[in-house]
Amino acid sequence: MTDLYAVIGHPIAHSKSPLIHEAFAKQTNQDMRYEPILGPLDGFEATVHDLIAKGYKGVNVTVPFKFEAFKFAKQPSKRAIFAGAANTLSFADEVRADNTDGAGLVRDIEGNLKVSIAAKSILLIGAGGAAEGVLQPLLEAKPKLLVIANRTLEKAQDMVKKVERQKSDSPTTLTGCTFADLQSQQFDIVINATSAGLTETALPIPNSLFAKNCLAYDMMYGRETPFMQQARQNGAQVADGLGMLVEQAAEAFYIWRGVRPETRTVIQQIRNLPKA
Ligand code: NDP
């Protein structure tokens, strides 16, 4: 019997996840179907209960339901607990939750872009859900320094406190700051985890931020953001978040199916789609 999966979000029509999982299933000969579901804003739990009753094996969860998905699950993974949010639910005897966003980012940076994180200085810009989701996996890759810069300082500081509360024995110096504190600092990897690119807004960050051979990574995909333009003009290697999107999906696919799909061709396939 064909196994059923879905992605729940609101909105959902733009989601590339069905195409990605369809490509993975074809490539690895898995008998499964994966569909987009528009979750009512006040009806996430009811939607999931309905899917479980219909025999679905799992779902991906996207904006704005990642926090609700985490609360809904009975067995959250360590990385979901840290993020306080889940993007992957598995329906077994109990509902399990995971967060694969950070693993996807690290795999894209290290595996696809061939940039090692260990012993590097990293700037993570933003302190919203996406930044929280990637913080723990970034720290596990053992950078020398990780600075979280956010428009609202308190949120960056809260993320730092959260790591400190876990009494991490990490080799990384972790600090939080605002954009104004970034003058005269340089980083090997700069990750834009803000949603500023959605509105074509430039970030108030100095041009001097990008060290020689810097990787500038924008979690957004589908368009060149002002952040990417600024980084390119200042000599950085620039990447968008499409690789992260495909890699987080591959990690979810692995959780569900126990098979790790090849991702390079799928990233290329999605990149080559005509623009909507
Ligand atoms: P949130 O709404 O949770 O957080 C938004 C963040 O952006 C906050 O830190 C906010 O700062 C900051 N921000 C928003 N506008 C501005 C601005 N004009 N100037 C400076 N900072 C700004 O969003 P998410 O964390 O969920 O998503 C962030 C981005 O990551 C989105 O573009 C999303 O598409 C992308 N993403 C990509 C993924 C992928 O697989 N490639 C996966 C998940 C997310 P403040 O706290 O001060 O409000």
Q: At 137, give phi and psi (nearest 5°).
A: -60, -35
Mention every residue, 6+ apart, whose C-beta is less than 8 A from residue 217: 105, 108, 109, 113, 189, 190, 191, 192, 238, 239, 240, 241
- Give the model's pLDDT for residue 168: 67
Question: Counting beta carbons within 10 angstroms of the beta carbon of residue 273, is it exposed (0 to 12), middle (13 to 18) or buried (19 or more)?
Answer: exposed
What pLDDT was estimated at residue 220?
95
Enumerate domains of the chain plus CATH numbers: 3-99+248-271 (3.40.50.10860), 102-240 (3.40.50.720)
Ligand 1 centre distance from Cα of residue 31 (Å): 35
CA angle, 33 then 34 then 39, to 5°: 140
Tens digits of pLDDT across the chain (276 residues): 899 999 999 999 999 999 999 999 999 999 999 999 999 999 999 999 999 999 999 999 999 999 999 999 999 999 999 999 999 999 999 999 999 999 999 999 999 999 999 999 999 999 998 999 999 999 999 999 999 999 999 999 999 999 887 766 789 999 999 999 999 899 999 999 999 998 999 999 999 999 999 999 999 998 999 999 999 999 999 999 999 999 999 999 999 999 999 999 999 999 999 876
Tokens of 184: 């005269």
State whether the beta carbon of 269 lies less than 6 angstroms from ligand 1: no
Active site residue 66: yes
* 3-state DSSP assignment of residue 6: strand
CB 86 within 8 Å of CB 129: no
Which atom in ligand 1 lies closest to the alpha carbon of residue 195? 32
State both tokens at 94: 């109990």
* Test site for ligand 1: of 21, 147, 151, most ligand atoms within 8 A of the Cβ: 151
Answer for the pair 221, 245: CB distance below 8 angstroms, yes or no. Answer: yes
**How far is 252 from 232, CA to CA, in rounded Å?**
32
Top mutation candidate among 123, 195, 223 for ligand 1, by most atoms within 8 Å of CB: 195
Beta bridge pairs of residue 95: 91
* CB contact set of 106 (below 8 Å; sequence gap of 6+): 117, 134, 137, 138, 140, 141
Q: In terms of pTM, does the model score above 0.75? A: yes
Determine whether the shortest distance from the Cβ of 152 to ligand 1 is under 6 A.
yes
Running DSSP on this structure, what letter comes out for residue 109? I
